[in-house]
C-alpha cells in the first residue's frame, strides 16, 4: 500500500509538473501569438507612415519646383522691364516753351502727324557725324563776327551789321526760320530731298527755332551756335526730343543721315545728347566763306 501511495504521489506530482509545463507552454504560445499580431499591426502602420512621408516628399518637391519657376519668371519680368524703353511721351512744345530757343523773327511748328515717328530708340552715336566737325564759337566769330555785345540765357537781337546782312527769313517746308543765307539754301536742299525720299517725316517736321542770340544755357562762357543763325532745332509731330537721355525719336535718326550727308553736325553727338539740334559743320562754313557766300 505504501508503495502504491508513493507511486500515486509521484504520478500526481508528475501530473502537476506536466500541467504546469503545459500551462507555461500554452501561455508562451498565446503570448507569442499576441506579440506577432502587434508586430504585424506596427509593421502596417510603419508602411503607411512611410507611404504618407513619400507623398509629402513628392508634394514638397513639386512646391519647390513651382517656387523656382516663379522666381525665374519674376527675373525675366524684371529684365524685360529694365530693357524696355521709357514709355513716357516726349514733352510737347507747350510743356517746355519757356526753355526753348526762339527764332528772332518767329519760328513756328508743323501740325501733328504720325506719332510713331516720335517713338524713342537707343542711339548708336558711332554711326553719325563721321568726318563732320562741330564749329566752335571761335570759328564762328572768325567767319561771321560777334553777334552782339553781351549775352544772357534768353534770345536777344543781333546787333552786328555784318551778320544782320548775312541773315534771311524763309519758308522751309512747313515753317519759317531765320538763318544765314547759305545755311537756308542748304537746309532747303535737305528738305527737298527729304520730301522725295521720306515724305512722312517731311510732313511731320516742325521747328523750335533757329536764330537765337544767347549763350549756352548752363554754360555762360560759351555762346550757342544758334546765335549766328547756323543751327536749327527740329520737332516731330509737334514734340521735342528729350535732351540728355541718350535716346532719340525714331524720325530724327533717319533725318540725321540727310543732314550728315549735307555736311551738318547732329547734336546727338554732344556729351549731353541733344537730338533735336542740327548745325552747319565747320568744313561747310569755311567753304561758304571761301566762296564769298557769307
Domain harbouring 275, CATH code: 3.30.1380
Going residue by residue through the chain (294 aa), what tens digit of pLDDT does each one get? 444 444 444 434 444 444 444 445 445 544 554 556 666 666 676 776 676 666 666 656 656 665 565 665 555 554 444 444 443 443 333 333 333 334 444 344 333 344 455 444 445 567 889 999 999 999 999 999 999 999 998 999 999 999 999 999 999 988 999 999 999 999 999 999 999 999 999 999 999 999 999 988 778 888 999 999 999 999 999 888 888 777 888 889 999 999 999 999 999 988 888 999 999 999 999 999 999 998
* Residue 112 covered by a domain: yes
* pLDDT given for residue 71 in this prediction: 61
* pLDDT recorded at residue 240: 86
Neighbouring C-alpha atoms within 13 Å toward the C-beta of 79: 6
For residue 55, what pLDDT is reported?
A: 66
pTM: 0.60
Is 235 in contact with 263 (CB distance < 8 Å)?
A: no
* CA–CA dist 175, 253 (Å, integer): 21
pLDDT for residue 145? 96
**117 and 10 within one domain:** no
With 0-12 / 13-18 / 19 or more C-beta atoms within 10 angstroms meaning exposed / middle / buried, residue 37 is exposed
Give domain status of residue 276, yes or no. Answer: yes
Last residue of a domain, one of 84, 110, 125: 84
- The domain in which residue 205 lies consists of 95-290
65 located within any domain = yes
| 89 within some domain | no
Give the 3-state DSSP-derived string for 181-233, with helices as H, strands as E and coil as C. HHHHHHHHHHHHHHHHHCHHHHHHEEEEECCCECEECCEEEEECHHHHCCEEE
Put residue 110 in one of left, alpha, beta given phi > 0 → left and psi -120 to 50 → alpha: beta
Q: What is the maximum span of the chain, computed from C-alpha positions, in angstroms? A: 172
Amino acid at each position: 500500500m505504501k508503495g502504491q501511495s508513493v507511486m500515486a504521489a509521484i504520478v500526481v506530482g508528475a501530473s502537476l509538473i506536466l500541467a504546469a509545463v503545459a500551462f507555461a507552454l500554452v501561455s508562451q504560445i498565446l503570448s507569442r501569438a499576441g506579440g506577432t499580431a502587434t508586430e504585424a499591426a506596427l509593421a502596417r502602420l510603419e508602411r503607411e507612415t512611410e507611404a504618407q512621408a513619400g507623398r509629402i516628399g513628392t508634394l514638397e518637391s513639386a512646391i519647390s519646383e513651382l517656387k523656382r519657376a516663379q522666381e525665374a519668371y519674376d527675373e525675366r519680368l524684371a529684365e524685360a522691364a529694365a530693357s524696355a524703353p521709357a514709355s513716357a511721351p516726349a514733352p510737347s512744345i507747350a510743356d517746355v516753351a519757356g526753355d526753348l530757343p526762339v527764332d528772332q523773327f518767329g519760328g513756328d511748328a508743323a501740325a501733328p502727324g504720325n506719332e510713331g515717328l516720335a517713338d524713342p530708340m537707343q542711339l548708336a552715336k558711332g554711326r553719325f557725324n563721321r568726318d563732320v566737325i562741330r564749329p566752335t564759337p571761335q570759328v564762328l566769330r572768325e567767319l561771321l563776327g560777334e553777334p552782339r555785345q553781351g549775352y544772357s540765357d534768353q534770345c536777344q537781337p543781333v546787333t552786328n551789321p555784318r551778320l544782320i546782312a548775312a541773315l534771311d527769313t524763309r519758308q522751309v517746308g512747313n515753317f519759317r526760320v531765320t538763318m544765314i543765307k547759305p545755311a537756308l539754301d542748304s537746309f532747303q536742299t535737305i528738305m527737298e530731298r527729304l520730301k522725295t525720299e521720306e515724305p512722312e517725316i517731311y510732313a511731320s517736321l516742325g521747328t523750335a527755332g533757329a536764330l537765337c542770340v544767347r549763350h549756352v544755357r548752363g554754360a555762360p562762357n560759351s555762346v550757342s551756335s544758334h546765335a549766328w543763325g547756323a543751327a536749327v532745332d527740329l520737332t516731330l509731330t509737334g514734340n521735342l526730343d528729350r535732351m540728355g537721355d541718350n535716346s532719340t525719336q525714331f524720325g530724327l535718326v533717319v533725318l540725321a543721315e540727310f543732314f550728315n550727308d549735307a555736311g551738318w553736325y547732329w547734336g546727338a553727338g554732344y556729351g549731353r545728347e541733344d537730338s533735336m539740334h542740327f548745325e552747319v559743320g565747320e568744313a561747310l562754313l569755311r567753304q561758304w566763306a571761301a566762296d564769298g557766300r557769307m
